[in-house]
């Protein structure tokens, strides 16, 4: 279960959809991108991820996989179900080319005695797909290599086209003879050649000489300096050309109708084969997206947990690379006695990014999309993912921002369980801090007792204390360099974080008297606790640097 309905917008998954759709080869795959949805079935997720991972290997290792002619012929196939209808010439050409692509893909995954099973999940997908060689053979008897109707597509068409050629040659000979005579007598310029007007061969003539050539005036140039005359000697032959062209069109329609009648009994199976082509297009697009973002198929566990190393928010990474900036990866674990992570730290320090990274990557993987993290990570599966983030103020429903948050919490409280992942940004904010913090703590206690999993961001001290004192909940801090006065965007699990409110206020130049008065108001215990958290953060970074130096 996903909550709320705007979940995908809140984690920017619609942007992931678009990036995958952009890599599709046809509307076949694009429709599958639109249909992509969250699954809580471990087996289904494994298959979807494995198919994509196998296609990543195909793109990297194979150069003979057929990825051309992905045409969506389904609308055409549905249209020609009606008796008396026929497939048009361009669709027939696309049908041939796409059927050859389907045949090539199935052949690629076919297994012989000497062939290693390199892509088992994709091979299974192609196992029962029908390839219709008799249909492509029939089309080859109708179309030439340029996608045009062959002269010998039927005996009658062959006869019509032979007569067309003879008649055209006869007209051409007559016109050239008339033209040479007119040029010799000065009625027509030396460089003039016969041209076509309204489907009839004519001679361009200067208007002052138009009465010198007997015939029908068919057209006049835009400048008025040329008229186009059909000499009377070729009128009958031109009429015959028009008749033959009509006969040719009727014969082509008959050929296409006969072929469509031959095709019609196979329409259901053909539509199934195009469904296969749609799946291949969708999978290859996901594979291209995975290569672009560094996505992998991580080890999966059929349980509610996550243990991620070097996880990357793909959309943020793309945006930062355009600015020549580097994203700080996320290391995070939710399992056992540390199911709910309470993240604290300064504003703009990366708390919300951590939360959205967890939401986006977990949702991606349960939609069958490979995700960017290290191979020593482990990914679990959740039945539900709920999120509360951003301003949900609603004028229409007369809801304040805080009321909207409480409505979300009411839903969380009703439906969450041990298989739910809860993502809550700025937990308890939006109202009077004391009561907001109290309600948040009461809800956190209920979520914990139900053994739900979650990532929660907050500034409230009582939630930090709760996480420190209750099994199942753990503190996390977004690290901050107080000497440089800038966030490090690095998550450290195990201790709460400081908001660095005093240091930030002092750094921007707020009067020291204001800072002193504020410190007096909150009391020395609060100030000392905040300083203690800062010291822990500083010491942790110091020892992490030492550890990295030893490893190097």
φ and ψ at 135, to 5 degrees?
Answer: -75, -45
Q: Specify the higher pLDDT residue, 396 or 235.
A: 235
Give percent above pLDDT 90 in the chain: 64
Indicate whether 473 and 525 sit together in one domain. no
Separation CA 458–CA 313 (nearest Å): 21
Parallel, antiparallel or unpaired: strands 420-424 and 453-457: parallel
Residue 402: per-residue pLDDT: 82
DSSP state of 370: -
Inside any domain, residue 10: no
> Residue range 130-142: average pLDDT?
96
Q: Determine the length of the chain.
A: 552
Residue 479: per-residue pLDDT: 85
Whether pLDDT at 157 is above 50: yes
Task: Give the global pTM.
Answer: 0.86
Indicate whether 336 and 483 sit together in one domain. yes
Indicate whether 400 and 461 sit together in one domain. yes
Whether pLDDT at 541 is above 60: no
Task: For residue 272, give both structure tokens.
Answer: 């199934």
Whether pLDDT at 395 is above 50: no
Domain count, the chain: 4
In 335-394, the DSSP E strands lie at: 338-344, 378-379, 384-388
Residue 500: per-residue pLDDT: 67
Whether pLDDT at 120 is above 80: yes
DSSP state of 327: P
Whether pLDDT at 203 is above 50: yes
Whether pLDDT at 264 is above 50: yes
Confidence of residue 532 (pLDDT cuts 50, 70, 90): low
Indicate whether 349 and 488 sit together in one domain. yes
Q: Tell me, what CATH number does 75's domain have? A: 1.10.1420.10
Return the SS3 of 417: coil
Confidence of residue 188 (pLDDT cuts 50, 70, 90): confident
Lowest mean pLDDT segment, chosen from 292-296, 420-424, 516-520: 516-520
Separation CA 261–CA 80 (nearest Å): 9
Among 45, 157, 142, which residue's Cα sits nearest to residue 87? 142
Whether pLDDT at 419 is above 80: yes
Lowest mean pLDDT segment, chosen from 103-112, 121-130, 160-169, 352-361: 103-112
Task: For residue 79, give both structure tokens.
Answer: 């249209």
Q: How far apart are the first and last CA of the chain?
A: 45
pLDDT tens digits for 375-393? 999 999 999 999 999 755 4
Residues in contact with 460: Cβ distance below 8 Å, sequence separation at least 6, in sequence order = 427, 428, 433, 436, 437, 440, 441
Return the SS3 of 544: helix
For the sheet containing 338-344, what is the strand order?
2-3, 384-388, 420-424, 453-457, 338-344, 472-481, 486-493
Inside any domain, residue 271: yes
Indicate whether 355 and 474 sit together in one domain. yes
Whether pLDDT at 394 is above 60: no
- Other Cβ atoms less than 10 A from the Cβ of 346: the count is 23
Q: Tell me, what CATH number does 372's domain have? A: 3.40.50.300
Inside any domain, residue 3: no
Q: How many angstroms separate the Cα of 334 from the Cα of each of 164, 381, 490, 510?
A: 79, 12, 17, 39
Indicate whether 433 and 455 sit together in one domain. yes
Inside any domain, residue 8: no
Q: Round the average pLDDT of the chain to a whole number and report it.
A: 88
Confidence of residue 208 (pLDDT cuts 50, 70, 90): confident
Task: Please state whether the peptide bond connecting residue 249 to the residue before it is cis, i.e. omega within 30 degrees of 0.
Answer: no
Confidence of residue 214 (pLDDT cuts 50, 70, 90): confident
> Residue range 299-310: average pLDDT?
97
Inside any domain, residue 20: yes
Residue 529: per-residue pLDDT: 57
Lowest mean pLDDT segment, chosen from 83-92, 96-105, 541-550: 541-550
Inside any domain, residue 329: yes
Indicate whether 386 and 463 sit together in one domain. yes
Whether pLDDT at 55 is above 50: yes
Residue 474: per-residue pLDDT: 96
> Residue range 305-326: average pLDDT?
96
DSSP string, 62-113: -S----S-----HHHHHHTTSTT----HHHHHHHHHHHHHHHHHHHHH---T
Residue 259: per-residue pLDDT: 98
Return the SS3 of 27: helix
Separation CA 136–CA 87 (nearest Å): 14
Q: Backbone dihedral region of 199: left (phi > 0), alpha (psi from -120 to 50 degrees) or beta?
A: left
Domain of 539 in residue numbering reads as 504-552
Residue 114: per-residue pLDDT: 57
Return the SS3 of 388: strand
Confidence of residue 29 (pLDDT cuts 50, 70, 90): very high
Inside any domain, residue 133: yes
Cβ burial 519-531 (10 Å sphere, 16+ → b, else e): eeeeeeeeeebbe
Inside any domain, residue 128: yes
Residue 528: per-residue pLDDT: 54
Indicate whether 406 and 392 sit together in one domain. yes
Residue 449: per-residue pLDDT: 97
> Residue range 409-438: average pLDDT?
93
Indicate whether 167 and 147 sit together in one domain. no
Separation CA 380–CA 304 (nearest Å): 5
The CA R_g of the chain, rounded to the nearest whole Å, is 36
Whether pLDDT at 451 is above 50: yes
Residue 531: per-residue pLDDT: 57
Residue 396: per-residue pLDDT: 44
> Residue range 290-298: average pLDDT?
98
Task: For residue 102, give both structure tokens.
Answer: 């389907």
Indicate whether 392 and 494 sit together in one domain. yes
Confidence of residue 112 (pLDDT cuts 50, 70, 90): low
Among 379, 380, 439, which residue's Cα sits nearest to residue 413? 439
Indicate whether 305 and 382 sit together in one domain. yes
Residue 229: per-residue pLDDT: 80
DSSP state of 431: S
Indicate whether 222 and 272 sit together in one domain. no
Residue 282: per-residue pLDDT: 99
Confidence of residue 424 (pLDDT cuts 50, 70, 90): very high
HSE toward the beta carbon, residue 182, CA cutoff 13 A: 26
Residue 406: per-residue pLDDT: 92
Q: Given the structure tokens 């909150």, which residue do they identify?
A: 522
């Amino acid at each position: 279960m996903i909550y709320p309905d705007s979940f995908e917008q809140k984690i920017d998954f619609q942007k992931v959809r678009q990036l995958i759709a952009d890599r599709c080869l046809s509307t076949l795959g694009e429709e599958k991108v639109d249909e992509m949805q969250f699954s809580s079935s471990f087996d289904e997720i494994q298959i979807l991820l494995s198919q994509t991972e196998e296609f990543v290997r195909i793109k990297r290792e194979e150069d003979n996989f057929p990825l051309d002619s992905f045409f969506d012929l389904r609308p055409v196939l549905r249209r020609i179900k009606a008796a008396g209808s026929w497939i048009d010439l361009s669709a027939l050409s696309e049908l041939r080319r796409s059927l050859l692509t389907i045949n090539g893909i199935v052949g690629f995954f076919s297994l012989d005695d000497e062939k290693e099973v390199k892509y088992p999940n994709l091979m299974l997908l192609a196992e029962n797909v029908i390839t219709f060689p008799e249909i492509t053979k029939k089309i080859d008897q109708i179309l030439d290599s340029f996608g045009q109707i062959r002269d010998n597509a039927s005996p009658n068409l062959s006869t019509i086209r032979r007569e067309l050629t003879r008649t055209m040659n006869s007209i051409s000979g007559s016109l050239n003879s008339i033209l040479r005579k007119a040029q010799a007598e000065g009625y027509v310029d030396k460089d003039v050649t016969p041209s076509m007007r309204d489907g009839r061969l004519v001679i361009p003539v200067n208007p002052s000489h138009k009465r010198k050539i007997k015939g029908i005036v068919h057209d006049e140039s835009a400048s008025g300096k040329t008229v186009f005359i059909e000499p009377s000697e070729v009128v009958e032959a031109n009429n015959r050309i028009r008749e033959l062209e009509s006969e040719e069109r009727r014969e082509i329609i008959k050929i296409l109708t006969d072929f469509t009648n031959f095709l019609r009994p196979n329409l259901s199976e053909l539509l199934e084969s195009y469904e296969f082509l749609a799946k291949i297009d969708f999978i290859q697009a996901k594979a291209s997206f995975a290569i672009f973002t560094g996505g992998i198929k991580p080890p999966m566990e059929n349980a509610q947990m996550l243990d991620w190393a070097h996880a990357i928010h793909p959309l943020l990474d793309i945006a930062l690379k355009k600015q020549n900036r580097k994203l700080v990866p996320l290391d995070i674990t939710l399992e056992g006695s540390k199911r709910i992570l309470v993240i604290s730290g300064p504003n703009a320090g990366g708390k919300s990014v951590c939360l959205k990274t967890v939401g986006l990557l977990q949702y991606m993987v349960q939609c069958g999309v490979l995700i960017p993290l290290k191979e020593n990570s482990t990914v679990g599966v959740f039945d539900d993912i709920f999120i509360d983030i951003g301003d949900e103020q609603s004028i229409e429903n007369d809801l304040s921002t805080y009321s909207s948050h409480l409505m979300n919490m009411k839903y969380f409280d009703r439906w969450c369980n041990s298989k739910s992942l809860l993502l809550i940004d700025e937990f308890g904010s939006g109202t009077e801090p004391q009561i907001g913090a109290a309600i948040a703590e009461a809800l956190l206690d209920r979520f914990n007792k139900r053994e739900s999993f979650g990532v929660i961001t907050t500034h409230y001290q009582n939630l930090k204390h709760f996480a420190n004192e209750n099994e199942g909940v753990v503190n996390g801090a977004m690290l901050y360099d107080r000497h440089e006065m800038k966030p490090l965007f690095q998550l450290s699990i195990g201790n709460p974080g400081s908001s660095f409110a005093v240091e930030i206020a002092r750094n921007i130049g707020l009067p020291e008297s204001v800072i002193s008065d504020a410190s007096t108001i909150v009391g020395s215990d609060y100030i000392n606790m905040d300083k203690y958290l800062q010291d822990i953060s500083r010491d942790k970074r110091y020892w992490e640097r030492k550890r990295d130096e030893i490893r190097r």
